[in-house]
Amino acid sequence: MERSEWSDDEPFAFRQPLPPEDRVWRHPSELGGGAGAAFVASSRRAHVSRGKLAVAVVASATGALLVAALVSLALRTGGSGRAAIIESSATSFGLGTTLPAVTGLGRPSDGVAYLIAATDDGDRYSTGVVLDDRGTIVTTAAAVDGAHRLTALLADGSQQEAVLLGVDEDAGAAVLRVPSRPLSAATGWAVMLAPGAAVHTGGAGGAGATVATLGANAVDEHGHKLAHLVKLTVDAGGQWATEGAPVLDDHEQVVGLCTYDRDGHVYAVPIEISRSAARSIDVHGRVVVPWLGLSGHDDPGTDGGAVVQSVADDSPAEAAGLAPGDLVVAIDGEPVTSMATLALGLRAYDAGAVIDLTYVRDNAVHHTFPTLAEHK
């Protein structure tokens, strides 16, 4: 099936980036490489934790009474709605003086936040993952849709008002921030998953699933078209997790956030999408999607790759000389085994970055150096 690199639904206008002191990630030109230096996250090959606690949804010894009540299931009501139920726990959060009282919720583990979205239809419960030590929390677009107030319940027992910073409408990621600095989660790489890989929601009793497809497209219950998702096959039972719940790999690292399509099928928004959205907000003050400008399909060969099927006019791909039939096999030396890995690999860079793209044409290996643009 042909997959487009990005949809054409969401226009973005250019704005000047934030000053360096307001950023978590610095612009590539400030990192010593000069203008146009590649803006890239740490290599997937390392695949190690930064020493922060992995998001395993288990209680500490002092919170053992909460384990049984920590299970949060997303229940589907037909094909048009979703009701998230948080079961009662033995210990509830202490109530703040300015935030709404919340009963029946135990504390999440370090690196996880329970979220309450106040909407015109009442409160909606979901989950988020703490991305960094500045209080950045990532969740799904569906979790914050229609919310006029967001409250985060954190592992230290506090309730804090969360500010919505931005939403990646193309891939269904949302970025929030709270005023405190909770412990962050250890995150991995969805791009390293493969069909058949086992993932889970954490803890001894965490719900399991199997990766069905990378680079999947879906339509959520609000009618939004989403791209670049990981489709999951849920273990027997059919019920899985709340919107935005962390999806962990076998290294206990967060590789995605649970979301659902309008028919109740389970997906994960790749963590690369969330990291990219958070980074671009800190650099540009809004979500900026890097764009190469090609579409194609997976190569069925032994080593895989992304076969270019079409190149957009006036795109970085066209300027770099890519053409239909080219087989893209690497970005900056990192293997590209499919269109999904190409799309997620690009999310490690900022718009304006120059990348080394390796491709094969007429059985000869070539390199080209496109400058990524902002998706329009």
**DSSP output for 188-249:** --GGG--TT-EEE-SSTT--EEEEEEEEEEEE-TTS-EEEEEEEEEEPTTS----TT-EEE-
Q: Give domain status of residue 53, yes or no.
A: no
Based on the fold, state whether residues 72 and 168 are members of the same structural domain: yes
Task: Verify that 173 and 86 share a domain, yes or no.
Answer: yes
Alpha-carbon 133 to chain mean position: 17
What total of structural domains would you count in the chain?
A: 3
CATH number, domain containing residue 163: 2.40.10.10
**Does 269 share its domain with 302?**
no
Q: Are residues 291 and 271 in the same domain?
A: no
230 and 159 part of one domain = no
Residue 255 counted as domain residue: yes
Domain-located, residue 282: no
Q: Is residue 56 part of a domain?
A: no
Q: Does residue 124 sit in the same domain as residue 150?
A: yes
185 falls within a domain: no
Give me the DSSP letters along 69-88: G--EEEEEETTTEEEEEEPP
Looking at the structure, tell me whether residues 85 and 117 fall in a common domain.
yes
Residue 252 lies in a domain: yes
Other beta carbons less than 10 A from residue 158's beta carbon: 17
374 burial class (0-12, 13-18, 19+ CB within 10 angstroms)?
Answer: middle
- Among 153, 177, 201, give the residue marking a domain's end: 177
Tens of each residue's pLDDT in the chain, 376 residues: 334 443 333 332 333 444 444 433 333 333 333 333 333 334 444 443 333 334 333 333 333 333 333 333 333 333 333 333 232 222 333 333 334 445 456 789 999 999 999 999 999 999 999 999 999 999 999 999 999 999 999 999 999 999 999 999 889 999 999 999 999 999 999 999 999 999 998 765 567 899 999 999 999 888 889 999 999 998 755 568 899 999 999 999 999 999 999 999 999 999 999 999 999 999 899 999 999 999 999 988 778 899 999 999 999 999 999 999 999 999 999 999 999 999 999 998 999 999 999 999 999 999 999 999 998 7
Same domain, 129 and 237: no
Q: Kindly state whether residue 241 falls inside one of the protein's structural domains.
A: yes
Whether residue 165 is found in the same domain as residue 261? no
Q: Is residue 136 part of a domain?
A: yes
Query: What residue numbers bound the domain in which 26 lies?
Result: 3-47+287-374
**Whether pTM exceeds 0.85:** no
